[in-house]
Amino acid sequence: MITRQFGIPVTSPGAILRREKDLGTPLGEEIAEVLERGGLVSDKIIVELIEDWLRLHGGHGFVFDGFPRTLPQAESLMSILARLRTALDLALWLEVSQQTVFERIAGRLQCGECGFTTSASSAQFAERPVCPYCDGRLMRRSDDDLAVLQTRLSEFETKTQPLASFYAKISVLHRIDGNRDREAVFADISRLIEDKARA
């Protein structure tokens, strides 16, 4: 939605890593097992892939979904941005209850081609689970199961939660209630982007 409305490229470590996996690259084979059990790929690999992506796509702004996830990743990103002479304007922290997380993961569908994500309960895709943007097939992700989710939540508490303080200290953190419907959350995100663009 951000790319369509603002023309800002969006990616996530998961999307980049799944692309490597699908292409069958040596790196893809290396990370396949880690992804399927819900583990985190090493910071070194993630940061290298993010820097490569930024050099190709980050010239006119960028959005990372789910990156950074650890303090070392956040520190590495700041170093990369300094080298590229690019500012970090916003760090959006979506606050979501554990119940909401479980419900959304249980019903998540993702396009195997472009990464578009939606809910299995959406009437639009009930009869024809096809991506509205690239006609790719909408499917459940192989790592969307309870055991994997519990691992992710545990890792979030220990490795990702400290990022809130990290970004608050440099005055770029903005908290958003993510328990609401998609349109309300996106409206808040849009206002923040528009305010920053006008500043």
The stretch 30-55 carries a mean pLDDT of 82
Stretch 33-44: mean pLDDT, rounded? Answer: 76
Contact criterion met (CB below 8 Å) for 163 and 74:
yes
Q: For 109-167, give the DSSP string.
A: EEETTT--EEETT-GGGSS--B-TTT-PBEE--TT-SHHHHHHHHHHIIIIITTHHHHH
pLDDT at site 62? 93
Residue 70, pLDDT above cutoff 70: yes
Over 80: is that where the pLDDT of 165 sits? yes
Task: Output the average pLDDT for the chain.
Answer: 87
Query: Which whole number is the average pLDDT over 142-168?
Result: 86
Q: Which residue(s) pair with 137 in the sheet?
A: 130
- Higher-confidence residue of 194 and 182: namely 194
CATH number at residue 80: 3.40.50.300
Residue 84's φ and ψ, nearest 5 degrees, are: -90, 0
Mean pLDDT on 192-196 = 92
Statement: residue 11 has pLDDT above 70: yes
Strands (E), the chain: 10-11, 63-64, 91-95, 108-111, 117-119, 138-139, 173-177
Q: For residue range 86-139, what is the model confidence (pLDDT) as tens digits? A: 999 999 999 999 888 888 887 788 888 887 888 877 767 767 888 888 988 898
Helix, coil or strand: residue 199:
coil
Global pTM reads 0.74
* Residues of the domain holding 114: 2-198
What's the number of domains the chain is made of?
Answer: 1
